[in-house]
Amino acid sequence: MRLRTINLKILLPTHVLLEEEAVKVTAEAVNGSFCLLPRHVDFVSALDGGILSYENPEGEEHFVAIHEGILVKCGADVSVSTRDAVAGEDLGQLRAAIETQFREQGEREVLTRTALSKLEMSIMRRFMKLGENFRG
């Protein structure tokens, strides 16, 4: 007799990170962790940053670090859409990869916000100067 399975797909903005069959998926929502089995009711959940784990039909457990996202279960399909994620087998190595990747991403976000702030200030100065030219 064949086990019922879940079709798990993890989607990033630029590509599909993972597409696997699973018999169980465990994730962390903003209001606590939960477990999905193939016959679980359909639903949508906002995921908190953390570890998503899944068990394949052979009984092996796998891990994916999620940087927040949305999980949708519809029938046998479970889709997770997230801005960033890292898959790994060993939780220790996964933690190190997450810290490195997410820290680098955070640094890029800070640089982007700084550049955007400078651009906004420049635009404001130009509008103020333009207003002075109209009045004077």
Residue range 87-108, pLDDT digits in tens: 887 777 777 777 776 666 666 7
92's CB contacts (< 8 A; 6+ apart) are none
Q: At 95, which amino acid appears?
A: R
Which 3-state string (H, E, C) describes the chain?
Answer: CCCCCEEEEEECCCCEEEEEEECEEEEEECCEEEEECCCCCCEEEEECCEEEEEECCCCCEEEEEECCEEEEEECCEEEEEECCEEEECCHHHHHHHHHHHHHHHHHHHHHHHHHHHHHHHHHHHHHHHHHHHHHC
Instruction: Say which residue the tokens 């004077």 belong to.
Output: 136
Confidence grade of residue 1 (pLDDT, cut at 50, 70, 90): low
8 A C-beta contact, residue 74 and residue 36? no
Tokens of residue 10, six digits: 């993890």
Q: In this predicted model, what pLDDT tens digit does every residue of 28-56 receive, in sequence order? A: 998 899 999 999 999 999 998 888 999 99
Q: In terms of DSSP bridges, do strands 77-82 and 6-11 run parallel, antiparallel, or are they unpaired?
A: parallel
Beta bridge partners of 24: 55
pLDDT of amino acid 102: 66
| Superfamily grouping for domain 6-89 | F0F1 ATP synthase delta/epsilon subunit, N-terminal (2.60.15.10)
Domain boundaries, the chain: 6-89
Please tell me the distance from the alpha carbon of residue 95 to that of residue 87, in angstroms, as a whole number.
10
